[in-house]
């Protein structure tokens, strides 16, 4: 069976319109719909590739409940679509309230326009559940679910909870803001939004800048670092990447010339500048008009010879900010036309309406310059479509550097949309640009657009989604549970000479800002004691802690203690002895370097042990720490290249250790003391990896957390480790399900 792709977006690419004979479906204008239309049309008849697609979304109307079933059925049959019906009042709070009143301004960097209304947030959450239910109703096993845009950022996790193995992708069409802006959201909302996205296997953005912002927010808000865009946290692996959207170039280049009338009056007499956008404060429409006015002032030779045709598509009319914007634009157009216009020439031709697709294509073709100057824009398809329509390679694109498209259309004249002089100069330069340069720039952009069209965008995203999902499955297969856990417990019970090698921090006890605060409680001491009192079992605590702390906490128990990552060992009721001669001469050179760094990174502190110096940075600003520590680790590795020391990057700690001291050495020493027929090592950290590597092939090893590891298995967290140890300590097998 060919797999299906469920495209989930707030709006379906058409709306329901109530007519006399029932509902009809009317096409809607929109970036996503336009982009995906080419794709779905191309893929559907073949049924190959990623297979059929089915849209899930709001149809723009709320039929009476009794009629909803029939409408849904017709939609499925005629349009490959499944509607999510939402009560209009709820829709208003969700769409106008949270989506366009909070997320849209904030994510575009217009924080002054954002409102933070708890009722709107609650509706946002409620609507996600409606979408979840709709998707679950139509999703079949094996389907890929591709969720689109800021309206549905909580949906990936809601679906994940319901279907843990579903293949889920998410794409954000608008910018993802930098942390300084994202943090303006109430903390709980910010967390829920990020965790909502975590439900996806792959999260896509238009540019690397947005990817970086997202990763930065994940680090700052949730404390989750990443490795080349892959976050492994909270039991899951999530990939984030840049997938700049493309368009169907062939379609725009070959748009039919059906119209007899010109789309924009005034053809032939003047150079034509075109702009097309939805009425929105992010699009920089008043700023553009001011820049055009400045252009006429600064370069009066163009007066009477150029015209700006500005198509403004009405949008979000119910929202006050948009009504105000409309009045501002009206006033500015009036002012410029009043100031510069004559009876034979109107500088600004202002069309406040949508054009039909043919008229838009004609307008693209009839213009000489496209002036696309949003203050912020996820991508901007108009710029791309205009370039695609230039079949003769004439014309100049003046493009805002704040649009995601500026990355793809590098040969445009790029401007800062707030800088009137810059835009005015760019218009002047565009009008004077020789045809040969126009052609070479357009050719370069057109061929890039052709290479990176919308079909490639979809294929690329879906292919990466497939491999991100495979990552997830690999991770899942490594989870200790069910049969693998039973085998482990069975092997333990059948063995007579067992060795347990257990790390402490992050494995048996949680981390705390102050490392002294995680003293073992009586429960843990009792559990470890009961394991170690069985004469068949040796339990070693293999820790990075210093001797004194381990002694204070575990002295007098039947455990073997290993301190400082294997530098010291102390058998039960024995005395500490070093595993190898301790070399400490290197400390003199390294100590001042680490001390200087600790002083520069607020909240961090040094801990000096006999054979190592540890720089702890758990309490610090994670962003700052991450960047600084990587640099220092690099520097130290180079500085110590000729010394017998190791640089270990542990969990929020960087440690410089005497050479040859690591948990692997300690594990080997314990393994060599006598033969064992069952070995289990558990740890949570990169410093435990040496221990895993030192084990014989048949040994069991478990990494706590979902990181990639040399261990054979992963468990989710400390609770799973304790649960397993309790099972091992239990006199008989616990009844299945008792966990």
* Footprint on this chain of ligand GDG (rule: CB under 6 A): 29-32, 34-35, 173-174, 245, 276, 278, 311, 313, 354-357, 360, 377-382, 385
Q: Which of residues 10 and 34 has its CB atom nearest to ligand GDG in the complex?
A: 34
Annotate 434-456 with DSSP letters as a single string.
Answer: -HHHHHHHHHHHHHHHHHT-HHH
Smallest separation (angstroms) from ligand GDG to the CB of 357: 4
Three state DSSP letters for 598-642: HHHCCCCEEEECCCEEEEECCCCCHHHHHHHHHHHHHHHHHHCCC
Q: Rounded to the nearest 5 degrees, what angle is found at the Cα of 164, between the Cα atoms of 162 and 165?
A: 130
By CB neighbour count within 10 A (0-12 exposed, 13-18 middle, 19+ buried), where does 667 fall? buried
d(CA 671, CA 657): 23
250: helix, coil or strand?
helix
The CB-of-341 to ligand GDG minimum distance in angstroms stands at: 24
- Report the nearest approach of ligand GDG to the CB of residue 423 (Å): 18
- Assess contact for 452 and 408: CB atoms under 8 A: yes
CB of 252 to ligand GDG, least distance (A): 9
- What's the closest the beta carbon of residue 265 comes to ligand GDG, in angstroms? 16
**Spatial distance between the Cα atoms of 648 and 688, rounded to a whole number of angstroms:** 11
Cβ-based nearer residue to ligand GDG, 400 or 557: 400
CA atoms of 625 and 618, how far apart (whole Å):
9
Q: Give CA–CA dist 121/125, Å, rounded.
A: 6
Of 255 and 715, nearer to ligand GDG (C-beta) is: 255
Helix (H) or strand (E) holding 313: strand 306-313
Angle at 384 (CA atoms; ends 381, 385), nearest 5 degrees: 85
Closest-CA residue to 442 (of 249, 284, 267): 249
Which residue's CB is nearer to ligand GDG, number 28 or number 484?
Answer: 28
Query: 354 or 495, CB closer to ligand GDG?
Result: 354
Nearer Cβ to ligand GDG (282/530): 282
- Measured from the CB atom, the residue of 93 and 252 that comes closer to ligand GDG is 252
Residue of minimal Cβ distance to ligand GDG:
31
Cα Dmax for the chain: 105
Considering the complex, what minimum distance in angstroms separates the CB of residue 360 from ligand GDG?
5
Nearer to ligand GDG, 356 or 631 (CB): 356
First to last CA, the chain: 38
Measured distance CA(399)–CA(4) in Å, rounded: 37
Any idea of the CA torsion for 176, 179, 181, 187, to the nearest 10 degrees?
Answer: 110
- The CA–CA distances, whole Å, from 213 to 229, 286, 394, 465, 621 equal 11, 28, 37, 20, 16
CA-nearest of 205, 241, 245 to 384 is 245
**Active-site choice (201, 280, 425, 503):** 503
| Residue 503 among the catalytic residues | yes
Output 279 or 499, the one with its CB closest to ligand GDG: 279
Residue 232, classed as helix, strand or coil, is strand
Nearest one of 327, 302, 309, 608 to 429, comparing CA atoms: 302
Tell the smallest beta-carbon distance from residue 264 to ligand GDG (Å): 12
- Nearest CB to ligand GDG, comparing residues 222 and 351: 351
Distance of closest approach, residue 602 Cβ to ligand GDG, in angstroms: 38
Q: Tell me, what DSSP letter sits at residue 354?
A: P
Residues β-bridged to residue 563: 568
Distance CA 539, CA 174 (A): 54
Contacts of 77 (CB under 8 A, 6+ apart): none
Q: How far is the CB of 211 from ligand GDG (least distance, A)?
A: 15
Minimum Å gap between C-beta 611 and ligand GDG is: 56
Q: How many CA atoms lie within 13 A of 727 on its CB side?
A: 23
**Total length of the chain:** 739
For residue 83 the two structure tokens come to 């509607």
Indicate which residues carry an active-site annotation. Answer: 503
């Amino acid at each position: 069976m060919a797999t299906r792709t469920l495209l989930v977006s707030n709006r379906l690419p058409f709306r329901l319109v109530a007519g006399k004979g029932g509902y009809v479906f009317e096409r809607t204008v929109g970036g996503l719909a336009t982009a995906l239309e080419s794709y779905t049309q191309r893929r559907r008849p073949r049924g190959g590739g990623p297979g059929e697609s089915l849209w899930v979304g709001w149809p723009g109307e709320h039929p009476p409940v009794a009629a909803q079933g029939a409408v849904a059925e017709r939609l499925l049959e005629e349009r490959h679509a499944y509607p999510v019906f939402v009560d209009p009042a709820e829709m208003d709070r969700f769409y106008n309230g949270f989506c366009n009143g909070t997320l849209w301004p904030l994510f575009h960097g217009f924080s002054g326009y954002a409102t933070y209304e708890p009722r709107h947030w609650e509706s946002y959450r409620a609507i996600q559940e409606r979408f979840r239910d709709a998707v679950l109703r139509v999703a079949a096993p094996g389907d890929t679910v591709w969720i689109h845009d800021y309206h549905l950022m909580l949906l990936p996790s809601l679906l994940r909870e319901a279907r843990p193995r579903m293949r889920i992708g998410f794409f954000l069409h608008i910018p993802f803001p930098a942390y300084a802006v994202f943090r303006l959201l109430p903390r709980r909302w910010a967390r829920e939004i990020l965790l909502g996205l975590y439900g996806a296997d792959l999260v896509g953005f238009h540019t690397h800048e947005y990817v970086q912002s997202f990763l930065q927010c994940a680090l700052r808000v949730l404390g989750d670092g990443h490795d080349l865009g892959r976050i492994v946290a909270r039991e899951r692996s999530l990939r984030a990447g840049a997938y700049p959207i493309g368009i169907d170039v062939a379609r725009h280049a070959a748009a039919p010339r059906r119209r007899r009338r010109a789309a924009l009056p005034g053809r032939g007499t003047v150079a034509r500048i075109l702009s097309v956008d939805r009425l929105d404060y992010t699009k920089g429409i008043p700023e553009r008009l001011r820049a055009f006015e400045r252009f006429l002032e600064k370069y009066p030779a163009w007066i009477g010879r150029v015209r700006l045709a500005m198509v403004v598509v009405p949008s979000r009319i119910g929202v006050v900010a948009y009504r105000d914007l409309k009045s501002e634009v009206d006033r500015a157009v009036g002012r410029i036309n009043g100031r510069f216009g004559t009876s034979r020439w109107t500088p600004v031709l202002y069309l406040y309406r949508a054009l039909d697709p043919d008229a838009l294509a004609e307008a693209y073709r009839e213009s000489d310059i496209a002036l696309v100057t949003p203050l912020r824009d996820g991508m901007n398809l108009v710029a791309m479509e205009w370039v695609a329509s230039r079949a003769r390679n004439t014309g100049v694109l003046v493009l805002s550097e704040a649009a995601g498209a500026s990355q793809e259309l590098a040969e445009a004249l790029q401007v800062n949309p707030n800088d009137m002089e810059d835009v005015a100069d760019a218009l002047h330069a565009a009008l004077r640009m020789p045809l040969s340069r126009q052609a070479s720039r357009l050719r370069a952009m057109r061929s890039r657009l052709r290479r990176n069209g919308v079909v490639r965008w979809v294929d690329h995203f879906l292919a990466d989604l497939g491999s991100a999902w495979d990552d997830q499955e690999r991770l899942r297969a490594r989870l200790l549970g069910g049969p693998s856990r039973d085998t482990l417990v069975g092997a333990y019970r059948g063995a007579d000479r067992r060795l347990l090698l257990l790390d402490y921090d992050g494995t048996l006890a949680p981390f705390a800002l102050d490392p002294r605060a995680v003293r073992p409680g009586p429960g843990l001491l009792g559990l470890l004691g009961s394991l170690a009192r069985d004469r068949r079992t040796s339990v070693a605590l293999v820790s990075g802690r210093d001797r004194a702390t381990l002694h204070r906490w575990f002295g007098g128990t039947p455990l073997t203690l290993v301190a400082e990552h294997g530098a010291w060992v102390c058998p039960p009721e024995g005395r500490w002895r070093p595993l190898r001669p301790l070399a400490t001469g290197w400390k003199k050179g390294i100590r001042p370097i680490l001390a200087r760094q600790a002083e520069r990174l607020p909240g961090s502190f040094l801990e000096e042990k006999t054979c190592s110096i540890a720089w702890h940075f758990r309490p610090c600003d994670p962003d700052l720490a991450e960047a600084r520590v990587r640099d220092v680790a690099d520097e130290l590795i180079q500085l110590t290249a000729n010394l017998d020391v190791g640089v270990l990057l542990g969990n929020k700690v960087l440690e410089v250790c005497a050479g040859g001291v690591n948990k692997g050495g300690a594990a080997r020493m314990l393994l060599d003391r006598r033969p064992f027929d069952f070995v289990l090592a558990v740890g949570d950290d990169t410093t435990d990896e040496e221990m895993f590597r030192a084990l014989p092939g048949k040994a069991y090893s478990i990494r706590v957390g979902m990181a990639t590891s040399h261990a054979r298995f992963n468990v989710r967290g400390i609770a799973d480790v304790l649960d397993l140890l309790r099972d091992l300590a239990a006199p008989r097998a616990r009844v299945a399900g008792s966990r």
